[in-house]
Amino acid sequence: MFDRKLILPRSLIALGILLLAGGVLTACGSHDAAHDGEDHAAMDHEAMDTADTADTAGDESVADTSPRVFFANLSDGDEVTSPVSIEFGIENYEIVAAQDPIVIEEGKGHHHLGVNTHCLEAGVVIEKAEPWIHFGDGSATIDMQLPPGPAHLVLQVGDGEHRTLDEPGLCAMINLTVVEGEAAE
C-alpha cells in the first residue's frame, strides 16, 4: 500500500507536467502561426536591434546637431571679482575670424559679448560700440573690469558681417554679482 500512495502522487505530478508542457507548446505554436512561420528567435533579435538603433539615432540627431554657445567658466548666479576672466564655449558651430573682404559661410561665425544688454533678434548687425565687444579675431577669452554689483552678460555669435544668426542656441545669457575683494566660492 505504501508504494501505491507514492506512485499515485507521482502520476499526478507527471500528468500535470505533461499538461503544462502541452499548453506551452500550444501557445508557442499559435505565436508562430501569427507571425507566418517566422523563426521566433530571429524575429525577436531583429526587432530589438532595430529598436536600439532607432533610440540611439534619435538621441544623437537631437543632441549632436544643435549649435550651442555658452560661458565655459562661469555659471548663472556666480559671484566674481574684477577683473573677470571670461571664457566662451561653443558646440556644433565653428568659430572663425572675420575676414576682409567680408566672407559669410554657413555654420561659421565669431563671438560678441554684450554687457548689461539682451540677445538681439536674428538678422541684426551687432554694433561696434558699447554695450558690445567684438571678437572678430576668432578669440574666445577676455579679462575685463566690471564695477561692483549685478552684471548681465550676453554671448552672441554673429556671421562675417557681425549679423546675428537665426539659431536659438547661438545666444546665451548669465547674471553675475561682482564683489570687491575675494569672490564667494
pLDDT tens digits for range 55-81: 444 454 445 689 999 999 999 999 999
Residue 153 lies in a domain: yes
Do residues 40 and 125 both lie within one domain?
no
Confidence of residue 100 (pLDDT cuts 50, 70, 90): confident
* Single residue among 65, 80, 112 that ends a domain in this structure: 65
Which of the residue ranges 17-26, 57-66, 76-85, 102-111 would you say has the lowest mean pLDDT? 17-26
Confidence of residue 53 (pLDDT cuts 50, 70, 90): very low
Which of the residue ranges 43-47, 143-147, 177-181 would you say has the lowest mean pLDDT? 43-47
Confidence of residue 141 (pLDDT cuts 50, 70, 90): very high
Residue 16 lies in a domain: yes
Task: Give the chain's domain count.
Answer: 2
CATH number for the domain harbouring residue 157: 2.60.40.10
Cell 500535470 identifies what position?
A: 16
pLDDT of residue 110: 96
How far is the CA of 87 from the CAs of 84, 122, 142, in angstroms? 10, 23, 7
The larger pLDDT score, comparing residue 164 to residue 50, is at: 164
Do residues 46 and 84 both lie within one domain?
no
Q: Omega of the bond prior to 101 within 30 degrees of 0, cis? A: yes
Average pLDDT over residues 161-174: 94
| Domain membership of residue 122 as a residue range | 68-178
Residue 184 lies in a domain: no
Query: CA 3, 8, 13: angle at the middle one, nearest 5?
Result: 130
pTM of this structure: 0.64
Do residues 77 and 122 both lie within one domain?
yes
Sequence length of the chain is 185
* Single residue among 65, 87, 112 that ends a domain in this structure: 65
Residue 54 lies in a domain: yes
Do residues 81 and 129 both lie within one domain?
yes
Q: What angle in degrees, to the nearest 10, is found between the helix axes of 2-34 and 40-65? A: 50
Do residues 20 and 83 both lie within one domain?
no
Do residues 54 and 76 both lie within one domain?
no
* Single residue among 65, 81, 102 that ends a domain in this structure: 65
Do residues 55 and 73 both lie within one domain?
no
Confidence of residue 45 (pLDDT cuts 50, 70, 90): very low
Residues 6+ away with beta carbon under 8 Å from 175: 76, 77, 150, 151, 152, 153
Residue 148 lies in a domain: yes
Please check the confidence at residue 49 and state whether its pLDDT lies above 60.
no
Calculate the average pLDDT of the chain: 77
